[in-house]
């Protein structure tokens, strides 16, 4: 019984981080910060729209509320490259879309 528990715990801690790293989070209409989206500073990300019939709009603002990037994201888009991000950037996602951010 002790062997079974030990093997189970080892497998759990090996498999669990792999499963959580593979999860992708989608974000819908709203206001977000870098922390909300779990994005890192000075990293180039890509964004895609997972909705089949709805276009979206992504607006990236700096700390002075100046637009740094505005992207119209078509439905079922594969990837749109973002500018390198700073820690104080804010994001506005407009329309009923589901956006996924990835590297």
CATH number of this structure's domain 25-102, picked from the four choices 3.30.2350, 2.60.120, 1.10.10, 1.10.1220: 2.60.120
Instruction: Dump pLDDT digits (tens) for 92-103.
Output: 999 989 999 998
Q: How far is CA 72 from CA 27, 33, 40, 67, 77, in A?
A: 15, 19, 22, 14, 10
Mean pLDDT (the chain) is 85
Contact between residue 62 and residue 91 where contact means Cβ atoms under 8 Å apart: no
Q: Does residue 20 surpass a pLDDT of 60?
A: no
CA atoms within 13 A on the CB side of 49: 22
Instruction: Dump pLDDT digits (tens) for 57-73.
Output: 999 999 999 999 999 99
Its pTM stands at 0.75
Paired tokens of 15: 């498999």
d(CA 74, CA 3): 53
């Amino acid at each position: 019984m002790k062997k079974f528990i030990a093997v189970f715990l080892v497998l759990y801690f090996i498999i669990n981080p792999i499963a959580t790293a593979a999860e992708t989070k989608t974000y819908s209409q709203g206001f977000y910060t870098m922390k909300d989206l779990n994005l890192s500073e000075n990293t180039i990300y890509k964004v895609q729209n997972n909705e089949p019939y709805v276009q979206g709009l992504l607006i990236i603002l700096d700390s002075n509320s100046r637009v740094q990037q505005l992207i119209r994201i078509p439905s079922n888009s594969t990837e749109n490259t973002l500018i390198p991000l700073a820690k104080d950037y804010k994001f506005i996602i407009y329309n009923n879309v589901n956006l996924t951010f990835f590297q």
